[in-house]
Structure 1
Amino acid sequence: MQDTIELKSISHHFDTASERIDLFRDLSCTIRADETLAIIGPSGTGKSSLLSIAAGLEIPTGGDVSFTIDGVQVDALTMRANSGFIFQQFHLMPELDAIGNLALPLRLKGNRDAFEIAALWLEKVGLEDRARHRPHQLSGGEQQRVAVARAFVTGPRFIFADEPTGNLDMHTSENVAGLMFDCARETGCGLVVVTHSRQLASLADRCLLLETGQLKATS
């Protein structure tokens, strides 16, 4: 059964003290779990808000969002429970070592094999020798690789990544981006990435441009 996110004529705005700022209006898009999707566009166009809406983290000010898992429509809470997230900031727990950070989401779900699964993912991202290192003992690229593995470790249906290479140098960005897309394709997980990087976006199966409130397919 296909897992999908359907955005139906969604609009979004926010209010300042003096005016209402419209980010976008009447956007429609279907996102499937068997594809990787990049969303690009200038700063301030609402890319991160669009990602949050698609992930069920934020409610649009207009329109509807529907989530389907295994052919059954589910609510936003269920969608979030079946999703993984990667951010520009690594958001690792500073008091936990690398394997502890990976095991945590599994332990919270009551998985008794949390550390064994975490160890497999550390190996997958090439950090098995850093298992007992805490975040401050890791480079930025290593921290983001841990964050990528943490997003995938629970076997989510979708991964949402907001500027995942924004804090990394070009060489490290390429490595992390390649790893992220490889993991998505290997696990069959849908990947939605917001990025300023055309190079990162070129790795996706499909790319959409958010500009002047409109969402357009781009090559």
Structure 2
Amino acid sequence: MIDAIELEGICHQFEAAGERIELFNGLSCTIRSDQSLAITGPSGAGKSSLLSIAAGLEAPTGGRVHFTIAGVGADALAIRKNSGFIFQQFHLMPELDAIGNLALPLRLKGYRDAFDIAACWLEKVGLSHRSRHRPHQLSGGEQQRVAVARAFIASPRFVFADEPTGALDSTTSESVASLMFECARTTKCGLVIVTHSERVASRADTRLLLDAGRLEVAA
């Protein structure tokens, strides 16, 4: 059964220096767990805010967000519990090694075989030989591979990625993008990516352009 996130006429604004800034008004779209979606647009258009709203991390200032899991209505907390996240900065725990970082979300969910599953995922992302290395001992690309594996390791319904290749060089960016889309396909997980990279965006099933408060399907 397809899980879905429906954004219906959402609006979002914030206050800055006593001025009200409106990012967007009346946006609507549907995000499905069997598809990949890329959100592109200029800096400051509100792409990260749109991602946060879709992921249930932030409430819009107007409109409605409908979450559905296994055909049943869900709240934002349920979506967050069933989602993985990837950011431009890797956000790995500095005191844990690579396998420890991967095992952590599973341990928090009570998995007894957390380290065995983590070892399998390290092999999938080509880092078995780095399992006992801490983040500062890994390259940026290696850290992001660990972060990608961490996002998918607990079998989420959705993975949300905010500029996941923004801190990487072009060659490493291609490698990490390929890994993300492959993980989404093999785990049958919805993937939502905010990116400035046209090459990364072109890999998605659907591309949306957010610009001047409007959201349109990109060619």
Indicate the TM-score class for this superposition, using the shorter chain for normalisation: over 0.9
In the alignment, does 2:25 pair up with 1:34? no
Q: Which residue of 2 is the match for residue 109 of structure 1?
A: 109
The equivalent of 2:65 in structure 1 is 65
2:89 partner amino acid: Q
Residue equivalent to 2:152 = 152
For 1:128 and 1:72, the matched residues in 2 are separated by 39
Amino acid at match of 1:129: H
Q: State the partner residue of 2:124.
A: 124
For the residue of structure 1 that corresponds to 2:120, the secondary structure is helix
Alpha-carbon shift at residue 196 of structure 1 (Å): 0.3
Structure 2 stretches of 5 or more lacking a match? none
Matched residue of 2:78: which SS? helix
Aligned partners of 2:159, 2:81: CA distance in 1, in Å?
A: 11
CA offset at residue 17 of structure 1? 2.6
**Identity over aligned residues, as a percent?**
74
Give the drift of 1:16. 1.5
Tell me which residue corresponds to 1:136.
Answer: 136
Query: For residue 39 of structure 2, what is the amino acid of its counterpart?
Result: I
Cα distance in 1 for partners of 2:161, 2:13 equals: 22
- Cα distance between partner residues in 1 of 2:208 and 2:164: 17
AA aligned opposite 1:167: A
3-state SS of paired residue (2:172): helix
> Is residue 13 of structure 2 the alignment partner of residue 13 of structure 1?
yes
Does residue 96 (structure 1) correspond to residue 96 (structure 2)? The answer is yes
Aligned to 2:199: 199
- Give the Cα–Cα distance (whole angstroms) in 1 for the partners of residues 97 and 177 of structure 2: 23
1:18 Cα deviation from its structure 2 partner: 2.5
Match of 1:183 in 2: 183
Q: Alignment partner of 1:77: what SS?
A: helix
Q: Give 3-state SS (helix, strand or coil) of 2:209's partner.
A: strand
Give the drift of 1:41. 0.1
In structure 1, C-alpha distance between the alignment counterparts of 2:215 and 2:185, rounded to whole Å: 25
Specify the code of the residue in structure 2 equivalent to 1:45: A
Structure 1 position 60, deviation (Å): 0.1
In 2, distance between residues paired with 1:162 and 1:78? 20
Superposition deviation, residue 2 in structure 1: 1.4
Matched, 1:83 2:122: no
- The residue aligned with 1:53 is 53
Deviations 1:140-180 (A, max 9, x none): 00000000000000000000000000000000000000000
Q: 1:22 — aligned with what?
A: 22
Q: Secondary structure at the residue paired with 1:94?
A: coil
CA distance in 2, matches of 1:112, 1:72: 29
**Secondary structure of 1:21 counterpart:** strand
Q: Which moved more, 1:9-18 or 1:196-205?
A: 9-18
Counterpart residue type for residue 134 of structure 1: R
**Where in structure 1 do 4 or more consecutive aligned residues deviate above 4 Å?**
none
Aligned residues: 219
- CA distance in structure 2 between the aligned counterparts of 1:81 and 1:106, rounded to whole angstroms: 12
* Counterpart AA for 1:196: H
Aligned mates of 1:69, 1:24 — CA distance in 2? 27
Query: What residue ranges of structure 1 are gaps of 5+ in the alignment?
Result: none
> How many angstroms apart in 2 are the aligned matches of 1:150 and 1:207?
25
